[in-house]
Amino acid sequence: MLAAILFDLDGTIVNTDPIHYQAWQQMLASYSIEIDETFYKSRISGRLNPEIVKDILPQLSTAEGQKFADDKEALFRQLASQLQPLSGFAELIAWTDTHQLKRALVTNAPRLNAEFMLEVLGIKEVFHTVILAEDCTAGKPDPAPYQVALNTLKINAENAIALEDSPSGIRAAVAAGIPTIGIASTHNPQILQAVGAFMAIPDFMDLQLWTFLNSLLSTQHSLLSTNY
């Protein structure tokens, strides 16, 4: 029985990758490091800032690395004042309301970024719970954030669906036992399915998504009717 949909934020609800890419380009240029999209997708996208900084700028102390990451995120927020959700997001939220499903946000985004994006997008009140990686024992690709979300909503993994755009996010949700749909806003659909997504779609208007959701609910209603 479907009881909840669990949403990633960056790249899933809103395509922030072009802005993050721009911010990382500007910040790393001060260290004479030039990055392209391939570098961004393989070394930055979906990872936590401490891991990224340690990987790319190993010469920085912990305090220097934290300041670099904070400055990068402040630049991101400065550049991201005109964010819009992916097509079909409002319709999907309305659909979950109609069918009385719970909604959780599960994100690796730093707290200030998550709060900023929820405010800019006008969706602060949409989620029954917001799970930040920094409040968990580990961030994605570790399943901990999704496990916390399931526990908070008091549901089992098989009663949820996760929506994720990055390989690390998909690995986290799948490792938590949650059927996962890939949102191919930033990565090739084949890559998302290769790491465990059972479906990959460009946005929430995709007919494949709605066919699946409606058939799932139709099956549930039939089972309930049979049981009664």
Q: What are 141-195's pLDDT values in tens digits?
A: 999 999 999 999 999 999 999 999 999 999 999 999 999 999 999 899 999 999 9
Measuring CA to CA, which residue among 107, 105, 108 is closest to residue 96?
105
Q: Is the pLDDT of residue 226 over 70?
A: no
List CB contacts of 18: < 8 A, sequence separation 6 or more: none
pLDDT range class, residue 224, cuts 50, 70, 90: low
pTM of the model: 0.91
* Residues 111-150 pLDDT 10s: 999 999 999 999 999 999 999 999 999 999 999 999 999 9
**Residues noted as catalytic:** 8, 10
Q: Is the pLDDT of residue 217 over 90?
A: no
* Residues 31-77 pLDDT 10s: 999 999 999 989 998 899 999 999 999 999 999 999 999 999 999 99
Q: Is the pLDDT of residue 225 over 80?
A: no
Distance CA 92, CA 96 (A): 6
